[in-house]
């Protein structure tokens, strides 16, 4: 019964330390992290642009 990969996927692996062995989950977390990083960089650039507009031109 444990030979089939489907039975292993059905079992909850939130407490499992080897969940990173699944390349799909690793790829998903990597894409989510990269998307969050890009979003934060865009937000920081937007805030910097707003601050530069508030500064008086010498």
Cα 28 from Cα 22, distance rounded (Å): 10
pLDDT digits (tens, 9 = 90+) for 28-52: 888 889 999 999 999 999 999 999 9
Position with higher pLDDT, 26 vs 3? 26
What pLDDT band is residue 27 in, cutting at 50, 70 and 90?
A: confident
Torsions phi, psi for 15 (to 5 deg): -90, 0
Q: pTM for the whole thing?
A: 0.44
């Amino acid at each position: 019964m444990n030979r089939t990969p489907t039975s292993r996927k059905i079992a909850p692996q939130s407490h499992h330390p080897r969940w990173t062995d699944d390349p799909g989950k690793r790829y998903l977390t990597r894409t989510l992290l990269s998307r969050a990083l890009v979003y934060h960089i865009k937000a920081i650039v937007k805030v910097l642009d707003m601050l530069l507009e508030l500064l008086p031109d010498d």
